[in-house]
Amino acid sequence: MAKRIDVSGLSAFYGSHKAIEDISMTVEPRSVTAFIGPSGCGKSTFLRTLNRMHEVTPGGRVEGKVLLDDENLYGSAVDPVAVRRTVGMVFQRPNPFPTMSIFDNVAAGLRLNGSYKKNRLAEVVEKSLKGSNLWNEVKDRLNKPGSSLSGGQQQRLCIARAIAVEPDVLLMDEPCSALDPISTLAIEDLIGELKERFTIVIVTHNMQQAARVSDRTAFFNLSAVGQPGKLIEIDETERIFANPSVQATEDYISGRFG
């Protein structure tokens, strides 16, 4: 189940451009870790290195180590497909598969991996939809297309799809930025429930959201445009928001940035 992530000396590149430089941190299991920082500072890039999605981008390249309970994700024998089954991801914009029904969307991960028992599928779909607090809204129309849902429902559908494959870690890349406050609240509540079972990492631009949902917060920054982003500090969320040890963090959080 939930696993610890240990990152050491990680840099990521797009072609020859260095996007993030020398990041080391530990993400605790069964907790929520929030990444905050200005746009372009490499939060999302760093998040994508944690399940080897960074290398999907043309020219994407990574140096350094990411240990998932002592196993290096970037070891030479590691299969990126297996990594992504262990470390799930939810994207900024809801992206249900347009050709599939609600049921098929949730079942997609299992079906497309080919590793499932047919009679258990309905059970897993129901469990996942309940896990993402969507079951009551969609249980009567599971065969309708996934794109027929509202934006907030679609995002919870994507979360259900991600947790259906039973990952150990769940990465969320600004999961609420396209949603209204009510849907955002629903997802934040959901994050609070999911952290009992998963290690959660969430990127957010919303400081209050980071303060509300996370146990630990990491602040990223870049010295100038074109320069690689760096981890400034990571600490207990309360400490980061009340009494950060670096001046830049305080400036950013209190809005005095730049």
Residues that bind another protein in the complex, under the rule CB under 8 A: 51, 53, 56, 58, 81-86, 88-89, 91, 93, 95, 97-99, 108-109, 111-114, 144-145, 147-148, 158, 161-162, 165
- 63, containing H or E segment: strand 60-68
Token pair of 149 as six digits:
């849902």
User: What's the closest the beta carbon of residue 224 comes to another protein, in angstroms?
Assistant: 29
User: What's the closest the beta carbon of residue 100 comes to another protein, in angstroms?
Assistant: 8
Nearest to another protein of 57, 133 (CB atom): 57
User: What's the closest the beta carbon of residue 98 comes to another protein, in angstroms?
Assistant: 3
Whether residue 51 contacts residue 83, with contact meaning beta carbons closer than 8 Å, is answered with yes
Whether residue 214 contacts residue 28, with contact meaning beta carbons closer than 8 Å, is answered with no
User: What's the closest the beta carbon of residue 45 comes to another protein, in angstroms?
Assistant: 14
Nearest to another protein of 61, 84 (CB atom): 84
Nearest to another protein of 84, 230 (CB atom): 84
Nearest to another protein of 113, 247 (CB atom): 113
Half-sphere exposure of 199 (CA within 13 A, CB side): 18
Cα 86 to chain centroid, rounded: 12
User: What's the closest the beta carbon of residue 117 comes to another protein, in angstroms?
Assistant: 18
CA distances, 156 to each of 71, 85, 99, 183, 226 (Å): 30, 19, 18, 9, 35
Nearest to another protein of 14, 91 (CB atom): 91
DSSP designation for 147: G
Whether residue 58 contacts residue 71, with contact meaning beta carbons closer than 8 Å, is answered with no
Nearest to another protein of 113, 223 (CB atom): 113
User: What's the closest the beta carbon of residue 136 comes to another protein, in angstroms?
Assistant: 17
Tell me the C-alpha distance between 147 and 158, whole Å: 11
